[in-house]
Amino acid sequence: MDLDYIKAQLPYSSPFLFVDELIFADENGISGTYTFKEDLDFYKGHFKNNPVTPGVILTETMAQIGMVCLGIYLLDKDLNKEFTKDTLIAFTSADIQFIKPVYPNEKVTVISKKIFFRFGKLKCDVSMKNEAGQEVCKGTIAGMITTKL
């Protein structure tokens, strides 16, 4: 499957799209990148005079690349279903450890490994690394893929 196709199916747009590029995808995992540009609104108040990317945004970035993009890939590959406007993705849980701060203008890489995908539920081990290859956060993310009733 074309990685640009996966990105085009994402149900997000700026300023809430945290996927720049997808690097790799197969039935066992996915990886992609995002650069946190310094003009993003949340940097104005988190933290004053020393901006740091909020953990909730790091978690969202890992979920978008590591769960949603992988879910789109698996939906097509495993279930032979297309991602449509009637497809819904619901974030159900996350257990994330934050190890290092991520600053404005840092590019991160998200690596996700599927734990399981069954009955529309996807659970993944996800890690995020900075450009130096240092792990900045890691954990487990899960969600549900379903269609509108």
Burial of residue 66 (number of CB atoms within 10 Å: 0-12, 13-18, 19+): buried
pLDDT given for residue 76 in this prediction: 76
pLDDT given for residue 83 in this prediction: 64
Strands (E), 9-106: 21-26, 29-35, 87-98
Q: Give the strand pairing for 29-35 and 121-129.
A: unpaired
Please give the angle made by the CA atoms of 22, 72 and 68, to the nearest 5 degrees.
Answer: 70
List, run by run, the mean pLDDT of 10-residue segments along the chain (149 residues).
89 95 97 97 90 97 96 76 72 97 98 95 97 98 83
Whole-angstrom distance, CA of residue 122 vs CA of residue 143 = 5
pLDDT given for residue 26 in this prediction: 96
The one catalytic residue among 10, 46, 52, 91: 46
- Kindly state which CATH superfamily the domain 3-147 is placed in: Hotdog Thioesterase (3.10.129.10)
Q: Among 59, 68, 60, which Cα is nearest to 30's? A: 68
pLDDT given for residue 80 in this prediction: 54
Residue in the block written with tokens 């991602």: 83
46 is catalytic: yes
Residue 61 DSSP SS3:
helix
Q: Among 33, 16, 15, which Cα is nearest to 24's? A: 33
pLDDT given for residue 141 in this prediction: 98
Residue 16 DSSP SS3:
coil
Q: Among 64, 52, 53, which Cα is nearest to 7's? A: 64
